[in-house]
Amino acid sequence: MTSQPMTLLIIISETVLEDILIDEIMDLGAKGYTITDARGRGTHGTRAGRWTQGGNIRIEIVGNAALCERIVQRLQSAYEQDYGLLMYTAPVELQN
Amino acid sequence: MQFEPVVLFFLLGVFAGLVRSDLKIPGSIYEALSIFLLLAIGLQGGVKLAEFPLVQLLVPALLILAVGALIPLLAFPVLRLLGRMSRADSGSIAAHYGSVSVVTFSVAVALLMQEDIDFEGYMIVFLVLLEIPALVIGVVLARSGSGSAQWGRLAHEVLFGKSILLLAGGLVIGFVAGAEGIKPLDILFFDLFKGILALFLLEMGLVAAGRIAGLRSYGVFLVSFAIITPLLSAILGTLLGWMLGLSVGGTMLLATLYASASYIAAPAAMRIAVPKANPALSIGAALGITFPFNIFLGIPVYLWMAQFLHSFGA
C-alpha cells in the first residue's frame, strides 16, 4: 500500500454561501469536496442551524499544499471581512 | 376583537425557548413544514384564481405593486436619518419590511376562515409578486455608490429560491387543476393546513425566543420602527384595498401583506447581496418584534380597520 502526503483543508462558513464557495473552490482547481451541515458558536454569534441563514457548513478538501494555499488566500480576501469564515489545514496521508 | 387560537402555539414555542426546554424541531421537519405551507398557500390561490378572469387583475396588480414599492422607499430615509443606521443596514431592513411574510399571511387566512369571512383568492398572486420589488429596491438603496451588486446571484436567489418557486409552482398547479382536479389532495393540503401551521408557529416561537433575548441591544428606535412601520403600511393597504373595491377579507389581507416583514426569503437574499448589513438587526426586528406584533395585535386590528372602512360603503 502506498500512502501519499497531502493537505486537508477545512472551511467552516455560512450555509448561505455554499454555492458561491463551491464555485470558487472548483475554479481554483480542487478535484472535489465534502460538505456537512454544522452548528456552533463563534465571533459571529451562536449558529444553531435552524434556518438557512442561521446555519453553518463544513467543507473538507484534500489536495496539495499549493492548492489549499490558493483557496485560503482567495476566500480570505473575498469573504473574511463580511462573513463568518474559519479555515485550518492539517497534513494527512491519502490512502487510495 | 377576533382571535385565532393557532397563534397560541407561537407563545408555547417562545415559552419553551425562554425556559431553555430541550424541545427542538429537527431541521428536516422544519424544512418539510415550510414546503407544505408554501405549496398549500400556492394551491389555494391557484384554485381560486382559476375562477377569475386574469385580465381584470392587471390594473390592480400594477397599483398594488407600485404602492408596495413605496414602503421600502419611505422606510429607508427614516432608518438612515432618524435611526442613524448605516446605508447597508438601512437598505437591508427596508427590504425586509417591503417584502412579505408567508406565515403572517397564513395566520390572517386562518382567521378569515374561522370567522367565515370571504376573501379574493387571487390575493395570493400578490404574495408572490410583492416579494420581488422590495428586495431589488433594498439592494439598490444599500449599495448605491459602493460598486455593483452580484445581480445574477441575487436574481437566482429571489426567483428560484424555494419560497417563490413553491408559491408560484403551487399557484400554477392549482390554476391548471382547478377545484375539481385538486380534490384528491384536499385532505393533505387544505384540511391539515391549520395543524401544520400550528407546528410551524411552534418552531417560529422557538426561533423568536432566541431573538427576543437580544432585543435590549437593538435600542428604542428599531423597536418602535418594527411596530409603527407595519401599522402605517397596513393603513396604506387598507385604503388601497378599499379603493380597488376588494371585499373586507381581501382588504384585510392586502393590509396584512403590506404590514408583514420577510424573515425567510429576505435574509438569505440580503446576506448575499448586501454582505455589510448586520443580519441580526433585520431578522431580530422582523422576527422578534414585527411578526409577533402582527399575529397577536396587528391582524385583528387590520380586520377591524377593513370592516370599519367598508361600513362606509364600498
ipTM greater than 0.95: no
**Which residues have a Cβ under 8 Å from the Cβ of B87 and sit 6 or more positions away?**
B80, B141, B142, B144, B145, B146
Domain limits at B57?
Answer: 5-14+25-310
Chain B residues with CB within 8 Å of chain A CB: 27, 30, 153, 203, 206-207, 210, 264, 267-268, 271-272, 275-276, 279-280, 283
- Please check whether residue B20 lies inside any domain of the structure: no
- Say if residue B115's pLDDT is above 60: yes
Residues B45, B127 contacting (CB under 8 angstroms)? yes
CATH for B193:
1.20.1530.20
Residues in Cβ contact with B181 at an 8 Å cutoff, skipping those fewer than 6 apart? none
Q: What pLDDT was estimated at residue B71?
A: 95
* Confidence (pLDDT) at A47: 62
Q: Does the residue B121 lie in any domain?
A: yes
Give the per-residue pLDDT at B218.
Answer: 75
pLDDT in the model for residue B2:
66
Average pLDDT over residues B189-206: 89
Q: What is the pLDDT of residue B38?
A: 87
**pLDDT tens digits, B35-58:** 898 899 889 888 888 887 878 888
Q: Provide the pLDDT for residue A48.
A: 56
Nearest to B207 among A17, A45, A50 (CB): A50
Query: What's the structural domain count of chain A?
Result: 1
8 Å CB contact of B264 and A49: no
Lowest mean pLDDT segment, chosen from A44-48, B86-90, B226-230, B232-236: A44-48
Q: Are B10 and B295 in contact (CB under 8 A)?
A: yes
CA distance B73 to B102: 22
Mean pLDDT of B218-229: 91
Q: Kindly indicate the confidence band of residue B296, based on its pLDDT and cuts at 50, 70 and 90.
A: very high
pLDDT confidence bin for B109, thresholds 50/70/90 = very high
> How many Cα atoms sit within 13 Å of B283 on the Cβ side?
24
Contacts of B38 in chain A (CB under 8 A): none
Burial class (CB in 10 A: 0-12, 13-18, 19+), B221: middle
Q: State the pLDDT at residue B179.
A: 86
Instruction: Report the C-alpha dihedral over residues B64, B66, B72, B77, rounded to 10 degrees.
Output: -140
**Is the Cβ–Cβ distance between A21 and A85 less than 8 Å?**
no
Its domain, for residue A36, covers 4-94
**Measured in whole angstroms, how far is the alpha carbon of residue B115 from the centre of its chain?**
21
Task: Specify whether the backbone of B92 is left (phi greater than 0), alpha (psi in -120 to 50) or beta.
Answer: alpha
On the question of pLDDT at A53 being above 60, the answer is no
Using pLDDT thresholds of 50, 70 and 90, give the confidence band for residue A45: low
Mean pLDDT for A30-58 is 77
> Best-predicted range by mean pLDDT among B20-24, B46-50, B258-262?
B258-262
pLDDT of residue B147: 58
User: Which grid coordinates are listed for A46?
Assistant: 451562536
Answer left, alpha or beta for residue A51, where phi above 0 means left and psi between -120 and 50 means alpha: beta
Q: Are B102 and B197 in contact (CB under 8 A)?
A: no
Q: Which residue has the higher pLDDT, A60 or A43?
A: A60
Average pLDDT of B256-261? 96
Q: What is the mean pLDDT of residues B156-185?
A: 86
Q: Do B268 and A83 touch (CB under 8 A)?
A: no
DSSP string, B145-166: TS----HHHHHHHHHHSHHHHH
Q: Could B267 and A37 be called an inter-chain contact, meaning their C-beta atoms sit closer than 8 Å?
A: no
Which domain CATH number covers A89? 3.30.70.120
User: Could you give the CA distance from residue B107 to residue B244 in angstroms, rounded to a whole number?
Assistant: 23
Band of residue B104 on the pLDDT scale cut at 50, 70, 90? very high
CA-closest candidate to residue B124, choices B106, B99, B97, B137: B106
pLDDT reported for residue B152: 76
Given a cut of 80, is residue A91 above it in pLDDT? Answer: yes
User: Which 6-65 residues of chain A touch chain B by CB within 8 A?
Assistant: 14, 16-17, 20, 37, 45-46, 48-55
User: Based on the structure, what is the number of domains in chain B?
Assistant: 1
Range with the largest mean pLDDT of A27-36, B213-222, B275-284: A27-36
Place of cell 410583492: B130
pLDDT at B111 over 90: yes
Determine the Cα–Cα distance for residues B262 and B72; give it in Å rounded to an integer.
12
Task: Quote the minimal CA–CA distance from B276 to chain A in Å.
Answer: 6
Look at residue B142 and tell me if it is in a domain.
yes
Q: What is the mean pLDDT of residues B238-242?
A: 95
Least confident of A69-73, B139-143, B212-216: B212-216
Task: Name which of A49, A15, A13 is nearest B25 in CA terms.
Answer: A49
Q: Which helix (H) or strand (E) holds B259?
A: helix B248-259
